[in-house]
Amino acid sequence: MLDRDDRSVPCVIVLEIFQYLDLYSLLKCRLVCSGFQYLIDTTANLQYKIELPVAGQQDGSYGDMFTRQEMFKMHQKRWDGLQWTEVLRGPMMSNCRAWGVHGGVLAQASSETYTLHLKRIPSQSRGIKERNWILDLSTFLGEGPQMGDFGIDPGQDLLAIMASAGDSVRIHILTLSKGERHPLTSGPCLVPHDLHFFDSWEQDLDWFFFDICHDFLSVYSMSCAVLWNWKTGQLLMRVVDSKITSMVFLNERYVLMAITSETPCLLAVDFLAVSLEQRYLDELENYFIFRFPDISHSSPVDDIVIRSNPRSTWGADTDPSVPFSMLPQNRLFAVHLSSDNSTDAILCFAILEASLLSLIKTGLRFNNNSFDWSMWGPEHSRALPDYSYSFLFPVSSHGTRLAMQRYLSHRGICVDIYDFNQLGCRNKTQDSDVETPGNVNLSESSEITEGRPICVLGPTRIKTNFFRDEVDTRLGYSMSSWLVPGKTWHAGYMSAICSEDAVIIMDEYNQTFEIYTL
C-alpha cells in the first residue's frame, strides 16, 4: 500500500487517519503490513497514543504533545523504580476526627476547631504545584456538633461532611475550594438524615462511611446502606440488613456490597432500579452476586470490608493544567476478609472494576445474575496477605495501585506497591529488566529487592482457615518494594496510602505524616 507508485496512498494521509484510531485499532494496523508497522513505531504521537492507555492513562491538553510524552515517560519510570523527587513532612492535626486522600488531596478534619486542613499533593513529574488551604466549617456545623466522615471530589469542587447534633445526622454539601454551600445543590445545603435508619451504633460517627460517584453520594453504617443524588437531595436507595458489612460505588449505576452469610459474597446492586419500598436484601431484584469459595466451618467469615478510591472526576480531561491522568474506570477494589475465630492474618482479595463490569455485562446477555467462585474468582482476583489492615484506616489504593506495609526484622518498615493494570503488566513481561517469577508468596518477614519491579502472572495458591479447600487466584500484577527510611513499626498505628503521584505514610503513633512524591 505504501509502495511508491501511482496507486499508493500518501503517508501523510495514512498518518492522519491513524490519529483517529484507538489503541486496539492501531495495534491491529501494525499487523497489516511492514509499512504500517514502521509508520506507527516511528511516529512519536502514535507511540504516545499507545503508551498512554497501556499505562491506564488519559491525555490532557497541557503544553504540546512532546512535552506531555516526556513527562509521562518520567512519571512511569519513577513509579516503576519508586524514585521520589521530594519528601513533605508535617504534623497530623490535633484532635483529628477523620482524614483521607482523595483525588490527590490530603484532607484532615479537626473536631476541636471545626476546620478542614487540605493539601494538594505536588508532582514534579506532572507539573502539579503544592497548595495548602483551610476551611472553617463552624458556620455550617454550628456549636457543639460531632464531626464525622467526609468525602471530597476535586473535579466537582465537592465536599460532603457529616455532623450530628442531638438525635439527627446532617450531611453538609459544600464547595471544596471555599467551604461554601455548593451551587449545584437544589435544596438547602443540609441533607437531613434520621438516625433511626441505623442500628445501635447510631451515636458513633466513627462507623459512618462516605462514598461519592459523580451525582451520587452513599453512606454506610453497620448494616444500613443509604444513597442519594446529592444535587437534588433525592433519596434513591435505603437497604437495611445485618448481613451487609460494607458498601462502595462500582460505577454510576451499581453499588458493591459485602455480604456475610453461610457463603459470603459480593453483591452488585443496580441502585437506579431499586424502589424505596425495597428495604431488605431479600426484597432486592436487580443485582448480581459473586460468591467466595466454600467457607471452613471452624473459621467463618465474620466481616468483609471493601475499600476503593472514589471515582473522582478530577483529571486531565477536566483540568487543563494536568498533562495526563489515570482513567477513572481503571480502578481496584481491595476486599478484606476476617474471622473472629481465625489465627490467620486478614486476607485481602484484589479485584478490578473492569472485571466485575465485564461479568455483569455477560450476566445481562445470558440472563444470569449468579456467579459461583469458579466462574469469576480464580481469573479475576488475586489473594494477598494483609498484615496491617485496620477497618478505620483510609483507602490504601489509587487507580490500579495498592500499597501494603509490613515489618522486616532488623530492617524496618517495607511498603509493597502492587499494580494490577493488566495491559501494563503484560507489557512489562516483555522487558528484560523486569523479573517475572511464576509466583511470589510474601511472608511478613520476606526480604525485598528495592527499586526493581517484578511481574507476576502465575497463580497464587493459598491454604487458609477461611476456606474449606485450597484456593487459586491468577489476576496478574507487577510489584515494587521500598524500605521507608527511619521508621519504627507501631502495629495498628501506621498506614501507607497510594495517590496518583505519591505514597503517603500516616504515623498516628507519632502524629506525623510523610509524603513521598514523584
pLDDT of 517 > 80? The answer is: yes
| The three grid cell numbers given for residue 36, joined into one nine-digit string | 504500517
pLDDT band at 296 (very low <50, low <70, confident <90, very high): confident
Tell me if residue 393 falls in helix, strand or coil: coil
Q: How crowded is residue 482: how many other Cβ atoms within 10 Å of its Cβ?
A: 22
Residues 37 and 123 in one domain: no
CATH of the domain at 407: 2.130.10.10
Q: By residue range, what is the domain housing residue 149?
A: 78-198+205-517
Rounded to the nearest 10 degrees, the angle between the axes of helix 34-42 and helix 44-54 is 80
Over residues 278-293, mean pLDDT: 92
Q: How far is CA 89 from CA 135, 396, 452, 503, in A?
A: 21, 19, 26, 12
- pLDDT digits over 113-167, tens only? 788 999 999 999 999 999 999 999 887 776 666 777 889 999 999 999 887 766 6
Over residues 349-376, mean pLDDT: 96
Provide, rounded to the nearest whole percent, the portion of the chain with pLDDT above 70: 85
Q: How far apart are CA 14 and CA 259, in angstroms?
A: 53
Residue 440: predicted pLDDT: 59
Residue 57: predicted pLDDT: 95
Residue 165: predicted pLDDT: 67
Rounded to the nearest 10 degrees, the angle between the axes of helix 44-54 and helix 23-30 is 120
Residue 140: predicted pLDDT: 76
| The three grid cell numbers given for residue 398, joined into one nine-digit string | 489509587
Residue 195: predicted pLDDT: 47
Q: How far apart are CA 238 and CA 373, in angstroms?
A: 28
Residues 27 and 92 in one domain: no
Of 441 and 59, the structure prediction assigns the larger pLDDT to 59
pLDDT band at 107 (very low <50, low <70, confident <90, very high): very high
Q: Is residue 128 part of a domain?
A: yes
- pLDDT digits over 208-229, tens only? 788 999 999 998 887 889 999 9
Asked if 175 and 189 count as a contact pair (C-beta separation under 8 A), the reply is no
Residue 201: predicted pLDDT: 42
Q: How far apart are CA 96 and CA 279, in angstroms?
A: 34
- pLDDT digits over 422-443, tens only? 999 888 777 656 666 655 565 5
CA atoms 474, 475, 481, 484: torsion sign: negative
Domain count, the chain: 2
Query: What pTM, to 2 d.p., does this model score?
Result: 0.91
Asked if 517 and 88 count as a contact pair (C-beta separation under 8 A), the reply is yes
pLDDT of 335 > 80? The answer is: yes
Residues 83 and 38 in one domain: no
Asked if 320 and 68 count as a contact pair (C-beta separation under 8 A), the reply is no
Q: How far apart are CA 422 and CA 382, in angstroms?
A: 12
Of 472 and 296, the structure prediction assigns the larger pLDDT to 472
Asked if 184 and 124 count as a contact pair (C-beta separation under 8 A), the reply is no
Q: Is residue 279 part of a domain?
A: yes
Residues 36 and 86 in one domain: no
- pLDDT digits over 179-190, tens only? 998 999 886 656
Residues 290 and 373 in one domain: yes
Residue 202: predicted pLDDT: 47
Residue 299: predicted pLDDT: 73
Residues 370 and 290 in one domain: yes
Q: How far apart are CA 64 and CA 373, in angstroms?
A: 47
Residue 163: predicted pLDDT: 79
pLDDT band at 98 (very low <50, low <70, confident <90, very high): confident
Tell me if residue 303 falls in helix, strand or coil: strand
pLDDT band at 206 (very low <50, low <70, confident <90, very high): low
Residue 267: predicted pLDDT: 98
Q: Is residue 484 part of a domain?
A: yes
Report the amino acid identity of residue 153: D
Over residues 385-394, mean pLDDT: 59
What rounded mean pLDDT belongs to the chain? Answer: 85
Q: Is residue 372 part of a domain?
A: yes
**Cross-strand partners of 102:** 105
Q: Considering only CA atoms, which of 230, 205, 203, 232 is closest in space to residue 220? A: 205
3-state secondary structure 482-495: EECCCCCCCCCCEE
Asked if 243 and 260 count as a contact pair (C-beta separation under 8 A), the reply is yes
Residues 158 and 229 in one domain: yes
